[in-house]
Structure 1
Amino acid sequence: MSLIPVSKVMHVSEEQKAENQLANFRVGCTPGWLCLWSFLLLLLVGIALTVLHRPHNDSTEKPGDLTVVKQDGFTLIIQTFKRDDILVKVLKRCLAVPHLQKILIVWNNINKPPSQKLRDSLGPHRTPIIFLEQKVNSMQNRLQPFSEIQTDAVLMLDDDILLSVSDISFAFRIWKQSPDQIVGFVPRRHAETAPGVYTYGGSELSDPQNGGEKYSMVLISAVFFHRRYLQLYQEQPKEVHNLVDDTHNCDDIAMNFVVAMHLRKLWGSGKPAGIYIKPKNMVNLELQANSGFKGLWHRPDHFKQRSYCLTRLAQIYGVMPLQFSNIMMTQLT
């Protein structure tokens, strides 16, 4: 990153001006009660100027910007369905991550509560783990503005993605610098094949900063985002929710649309919804699951459905808000 030199500017504070006035006054003032009252008046002026010109933390923020609350931590949300064994591996790894405040497990195993064996297998830990048992098995269950979330930062993980502690910590630091965007590890792209018709690209990126492919989405299978987007997702047109339920797919694409539409309101067009973090160590545990349950992306019509979702979402919103980016963040060591 190049640095732009900044000229040194001599700045005389209002407090210094008041002090200079006081010094001038001391030279020309004659003894007496008038001198005392003048001194007190100048002192009060100096105090007032100090209070009025005290810097505020949000002085450079744009109206409507997402800001980070005082809690320097995040809440982990994991949605799971019939894969307890790999869920335990993911949870044990995440429990070692600094700044983790709470874990919410969106439990989609309907009419089958989490077993005591599962709870005990996590071992002793200080981080609260809350199982949120759902009434229906829906992709959208994880995108609720749960009252248990007390941090602005949310880390959302699939139950089969194992990230290193350093990758998660690094992504959290990047997110704190850009809390209005999605920050995550799984980039994807879209392409317009005909006017108003879009296809979904699922190829991985190698090195976008050196001429590689651009991306327009960062999937919520492994991302940080501001909790406000959970509420904004719920406020989307009913057609969006129906689309996700009908396809049992595309909630991650829909969330990228939610973020992109919000950024259009904040910044105008041109700001991408997500920032891609190239992980140093990310493992998919799906094949290790004893249940044998495979992710939805194995369905033969998966990519066709997601292309349909892109086109349908653009129709619902009346615009294609997704913007391309080639920014890739990675750890130096």
Structure 2
Amino acid sequence: MQAAPSLIRRASLKRTIRPRMVFLIAVNVITILAFLNWRDRYVSKESIIKLMDDRVKAIFSPEREVSTAPETTSNFTGKAAYVSMVCLESDFLPVRALVHSIKLTEPANDIVVVVMHPIEDLQRNNLTTLGAKLVDTTTVKFDIDMSYLTDDEKEIESESEMAESEKSVNHESPSSEYERRQCRANVIQAWRLLEYDRILYMNPEMLVLENIDEVFQEPPFTATLELGGVIDESIMLLEPSMSVYKELKSVMVKAQHLPNEISYLNYFFKDIHPLNPLFNVKASYAEREYSRYFFQNAKVYNFEGTFKPWSFWFQGPKQWRRYFNERMTFAWRQMDYRVREKLGMDDPATIEWRNERGSEEICKSYLTSRVSLPERIMDRYSVLLATHSLRRQETLPLVIEQFLASPKVDKIFIIWHNKDQPISKNIQELLDSKKDQVVLLKQAFDSLNNRFNPVAEVRTGAVLISDDDVWAPIEDIELAFEAWRRQPDSLVGFAPRVDCLDPTDEMMKYCWPNKLNPHRYSIMLTKLMFMDANFLFLWRCSLPDLILKYVDDLINCEDIAVNFLISGVSSQPPLHIISPEVYDFGLEHGISSSPKHFAIRTECVQQITELFGRDTLVSARGSMSKYQNTDFLSSTWVDFLEVLREKEGHVAEFRDTEVIPADAFVSDEW
């Protein structure tokens, strides 16, 4: 009889819970249905799954056909155009090259540039002369939620804001992440070009390698896809429509919280026709399984990422190795030269120098020979040994033998500057006996730039640049190599110099590091130093040739310029190795023996700063040496206060501004 009330209470509780559960289930079902209905408005689940599957299984397969369209014949004959845009100040140079690269393929369609950022009349004339039609409009502004930036994006954004305060002299200023995202959103401007039936939108940072009119035969909406079926809006075939434009504006607001790599277009288009990735080849594709296929068959290059061929030497791009590709960088530089010649931007002397002593043949030969080589070796190094004088042929074999004594040396390449100079008997005997280890490279012409020519046979990540008249203990050279392995973005060497601001005239000068207080250095002489082999290609095949021509004209300062290059790319200072036994036997008759040497070098610092757009040199105060037995100085507690007082003046002196004496600018070496 006691259990009856308990049963009644349970029954009552069940009657109370059931309606609540039914209500909650109904709310959840309605919520899920509403979400699916909203999601289906913009994205077809089946199409996304299919695109993901196609992406993984087929898109990157070299066996697939170039066209990804269904096997139906397209007969599009309407009016079409290639379209890109100038949305940021930094867009002009890449857009200029893109327009000319399309025009050289003799396209059957118009080339249109949508101008949203004010550009000068000369720049407008450049684009129209190259064959572009300009459409002026204003940027559509959107509220972009920046709280979703990744840590890397926040770091880049912070650096961009700092760089705004020191805009470069001859180049565009960097753009903030907010501005870049605003411009990315303004891709929707392409849907407003109602004059055309189809538009192939192309990101400003692309370069066309061959005629791609065939893409207009693909069914709109066509775009390349990243892993997971995510649209890459760098290149898209679309049909202009004001109704689509208006809907895209509303979708963009809803999708603005998406990560940077996911386009809002994924939330709009139900059916996405995948375009073959050969129309959108990026440097990062080198990490993919079929990388060789991509770069050998590429139709369009996309210079996305931090490394830009038109500005890398002064902007210090983050993760530059990931976004650097030799073929792509050289292709852009060659197109820029063609643009300049078409527009008459270079004087006859520059064009003559480019044809006779320029880099085109050197770099083409290198790229042709470099294809089949394996990945670079990191636990050994190559030696690039420059020689010119006939009187040094007697000692050259001895220098080479010393390098060969190291097991870490992979190969020695003799840079034979004077092609007409005969090879002495002792050097020829060395070449014959050590042909697997020593290679002689005769240069087509004599130039200091040849010291940094890329060498196809170099297999190592590190190269030791050496003159034929210097000597250092091999153990110190190997110490420098180990230091480079830990700091591969830096020049690592034995003879530092520094650029310093002369307070008397507010001009940068070439100075002695040990004359400054506190001591520092920002330049490493290239007489004996380690560097990354990639910098050879960047020097010879990627820099504007006005810099290389300056070195040729002056017959000096290639070492200062290469320091500007490496610090400009890596944002890293050089590293000094302390060695008491580094000898330079060429001071008596070398370039640096002139009493005007420091004045010439000061002029170089100033001129190269102008050529690079800014002073890219980075200073350091530390050095590395072989281990020395040091420990704490021992003292008593009673002496502690006295020692602190004694060192107080030194601390105050250290906190003062840099002291530059007059003799920091002149040579006391000669």
Task: State if a TM-score over 0.5 links the two structures.
Answer: yes
Amino acid in structure 1 at the alignment position of 2:461: D
Amino acid in structure 1 at the alignment position of 2:593: H
Amino acid in structure 2 at the alignment position of 1:314: T
| 1:198 matches 2:508 | yes
Amino acid in structure 1 at the alignment position of 2:621: N
Amino acid in structure 2 at the alignment position of 1:263: S
Amino acid in structure 1 at the alignment position of 2:618: Q
Verify the 8 A CA contact 1:276 1:328 in the aligned structure 2. yes
Identity of aligned residues (%): 29
Question: Which residue is equivalent to 1:52?
Answer: none
Amino acid in structure 1 at the alignment position of 2:385: I
CA displacement 1:130-163 (0-9 Å, x = unmatched): 1111222211111111112111110011111111
Question: Which residue is equivalent to 1:113?
Answer: 422
Verify the 8 A CA contact 1:113 1:133 in the aligned structure 2. no
Verify the 8 A CA contact 2:497 2:521 in the aligned structure 1. yes
Verify the 8 A CA contact 2:378 2:462 in the aligned structure 1. no
Report the Cα distance in structure 2 between the residues aligned to 1:177 and 1:256, rounded to whole angstroms. 19
Report the Cα distance in structure 2 between the residues aligned to 1:123 and 1:95, rounded to whole angstroms. 15
Question: Which of 215, 238, 241 is the aligned partner of 2:545?
Answer: 238
| 1:189 matches 2:495 | no
Q: SS of the residue aligned with 1:85?
A: coil
Verify the 8 A CA contact 1:156 1:221 in the aligned structure 2. yes
Question: Which of 575, 578, 582 is the aligned partner of 1:282?
Answer: 582
Q: SS of the residue aligned with 2:460?
A: coil
Instruction: State the Cα RMSD in Å.
Output: 2.7
- 1:1-333 matches, within 5 Å, as 63-65=319-321, 69-82=376-389, 83-120=392-429, 125=434, 128-193=437-502, 197-201=507-511, 203=512, 205=514, 213-234=519-540, 235-264=542-571, 271-272=572-573, 274-286=574-586, 294-332=589-627
Q: SS of the residue aligned with 2:600?
A: helix
Displacement of 1:299 in angstroms is 2.0
Verify the 8 A CA contact 1:164 1:280 in the aligned structure 2. no
Verify the 8 A CA contact 1:163 1:283 in the aligned structure 2. yes
Q: 1:126 to 1:114 in 2, by over 3 A?
A: closer
Question: Which residue is equivalent to 2:352?
Answer: none
Displacement of 1:111 in angstroms is 0.9
Report the Cα distance in structure 1 between the residues aligned to 2:589 and 2:472, rounded to whole angstroms. 19
Point out the more displaced range, 322-331 or 191-200. 191-200
Q: Tell which structure's C-alpha radius of gyration is larger.
A: 2
Amino acid in structure 2 at the alignment position of 1:100: V
Q: How many residues align?
A: 257
Verify the 8 A CA contact 2:539 2:562 in the aligned structure 1. yes
Displacement of 1:127 in angstroms is 5.4
Q: SS of the residue aligned with 1:64?
A: coil
Q: SS of the residue aligned with 2:394?
A: helix
Q: TM-score, normalised by structure 2?
A: 0.36
Displacement of 1:173 in angstroms is 0.6
Verify the 8 A CA contact 1:97 1:168 in the aligned structure 2. no
User: Where does the alignment leave 5 or more consecutive residues of structure 2 unmatched?
Assistant: 1-286, 288-317, 323-374, 629-670
Report the Cα distance in structure 1 between the residues aligned to 2:381 and 2:548, rounded to whole angstroms. 26
User: Where does the alignment leave 5 or more consecutive residues of structure 1 unmatched?
Assistant: 1-57, 265-270, 288-292
Displacement of 1:126 in angstroms is 7.6
Amino acid in structure 1 at the alignment position of 2:538: L
Q: SS of the residue aligned with 1:152?
A: strand
Q: TM-score, normalised by structure 1?
A: 0.70
Verify the 8 A CA contact 1:76 1:154 in the aligned structure 2. yes
Q: 1:196 to 1:310 in 2, by over 3 A?
A: farther
Q: SS of the residue aligned with 1:322?
A: coil
Q: SS of the residue aligned with 2:508?
A: strand
Point out the more displaced range, 153-162 or 126-135. 126-135
If asked which structure has higher relative contact order (CA below 8 Å, sep 6+), I would say: 1
Point out the more displaced range, 110-119 or 123-132. 123-132
Q: 1:311 to 1:204 in 2, by over 3 A?
A: closer
Verify the 8 A CA contact 1:86 1:285 in the aligned structure 2. no
Amino acid in structure 2 at the alignment position of 1:132: L
Q: 1:71 to 1:177 in 2, by over 3 A?
A: closer
Verify the 8 A CA contact 1:196 1:311 in the aligned structure 2. no
Report the Cα distance in structure 2 between the residues aligned to 1:324 and 1:94, rounded to whole angstroms. 30
Q: 1:300 to 1:149 in 2, by over 3 A?
A: same
Report the Cα distance in structure 2 between the residues aligned to 1:317 and 1:156, rounded to whole angstroms. 23
Q: 1:317 to 1:204 in 2, by over 3 A?
A: closer
Question: Which residue is equivalent to 1:267?
Answer: none
CA displacement 1:263-318 (0-9 Å, x = unmatched): 14xxxxxx32x10001142122337xxxxx81110123322221111101111122
Report the Cα distance in structure 1 between the residues aligned to 2:509 and 2:396, rounded to whole angstroms. 32
